[in-house]
């Protein structure tokens, strides 16, 4: 759901940049608590997300649909780490690959990184007592849907493209993408949580 340049109004650009900058700054302070033994796996996860996001599906007006990965990182490493990983991924994509506009970078990080991280984390946190598989799936699916909704609202209030047709397309595309995201999140959380726990135990033993 990368937003290109030219679709957001100046107030939306300024507002999303301000919110994003403040949140990323706060996340950078909070994420210092991540244990060192988890950093290699965090780096590998970030690299995998970068590659996965490079597969785009055109939606409308230059906006693309794709997997996110924010919920996965948030579940494994916490929402603050997820915000930083997504921020790094999106900055690299914007400046090196032209995927998403520079003026829309604040909005893209907010939609995919911040919303994805916190929605994914808290969805999983509150639902895991019921069923961890369901919690993981819904964390991935809802993070994608709310990110797409936020992008649609930002573009809609900017008045560049017709809001209702764009919203319909965005939510339709991302409802399907969200299912894929949910399934991958469910599978990878189960697989990688074991690795995170092994690293923590190994560190305690040493």
Q: What is the pLDDT of residues 100-158, one digit of tens each?
A: 899 999 999 999 999 999 999 999 999 999 999 999 999 999 999 999 999 999 999 99
Closest by CA position to 28, among listed 73, 85, 75: 85
pLDDT in tens, 11-50: 999 999 999 999 999 999 887 767 676 777 788 788 888 7
Q: What are phi and psi of 63, to 5 degrees?
A: -85, 140
Q: With beta carbons less than 8 A apart as the criterion, state whether 150 and 203 touch.
A: no
Closest by CA position to 96, among listed 50, 41, 155: 50
The structure's pTM equals 0.88
**How many other C-beta atoms lie within 10 A of the C-beta of residue 52?**
17
Mean pLDDT of 45-65: 73
Q: What are phi and psi of 202, to 5 degrees?
A: -60, -40
Task: Provide the mean pLDDT of the chain.
Answer: 86
Instruction: Look at the chain and count its residues.
Output: 206
| CB proximity list for 134: less than 8 A, separation 6 or greater | 127
> Cα separation of 184 and 49, whole Å?
11
Angle CA 67–68–71, to nearest 5: 130
CATH architecture of 10-201: Orthogonal Bundle (1.10)
Give 46: exposed, middle or buried? Use CB within 10 Å, 0-12, 13-18, 19+. buried
Predicted local distance difference test score (pLDDT) of residue 52: 77
Q: Helix H segments across the chain?
A: 10-30, 39-53, 70-77, 79-97, 105-108, 116-127, 132-158, 163-205
Q: Is the pLDDT of residue 55 over 80?
A: no
pLDDT in tens, 172-193: 989 999 999 999 999 989 887 7
Q: Is the pLDDT of residue 8 over 80?
A: yes
Angle CA 179–187–140, to nearest 5: 40
> Cα separation of 65 and 203, whole Å?
39
Predicted local distance difference test score (pLDDT) of residue 200: 43
Q: Is the pLDDT of residue 201 over 90?
A: no
Predicted local distance difference test score (pLDDT) of residue 43: 81
Predicted local distance difference test score (pLDDT) of residue 134: 95
Q: Where are the domains of the chain?
A: 10-201
Q: With beta carbons less than 8 A apart as the criterion, state whether 49 and 89 touch.
A: yes
pLDDT band at 62 (very low <50, low <70, confident <90, very high): low
Predicted local distance difference test score (pLDDT) of residue 98: 84
């Amino acid at each position: 759901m990368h937003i290109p340049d030219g679709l957001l109004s100046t107030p939306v650009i300024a507002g999303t940049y301000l919110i994003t900058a403040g949140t990323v700054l706060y996340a950078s302070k909070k994420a210092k608590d991540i244990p060192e033994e988890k950093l290699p796996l965090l780096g590998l996860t970030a690299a995998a997300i970068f590659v996965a996001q490079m597969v785009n599906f055109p939606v409308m007006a230059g906006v693309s649909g794709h997997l996110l990965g924010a919920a996965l990182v948030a579940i494994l490493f916490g929402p603050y780490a997820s915000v930083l990983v997504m921020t790094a991924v999106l900055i690299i994509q914007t400046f090196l690959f032209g995927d998403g506009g520079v003026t829309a970078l604040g909005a893209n990080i907010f939609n995919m990184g911040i919303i994805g991280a916190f929605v994914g984390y808290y969805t999983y946190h509150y639902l895991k007592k019921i069923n961890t598989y369901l919690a993981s799936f819904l964390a991935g699916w809802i993070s994608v849907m709310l990110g797409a909704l936020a992008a649609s609202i930002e573009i809609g209030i900017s008045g560049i493209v017709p809001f209702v047709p764009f919203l319909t397309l965005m939510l339709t595309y991302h409802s399907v993408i969200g299912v894929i995201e949910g399934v991958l999140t469910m599978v990878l959380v189960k697989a990688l949580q074991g690795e995170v726990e092994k690293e923590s135990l190994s560190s305690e033993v040493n």
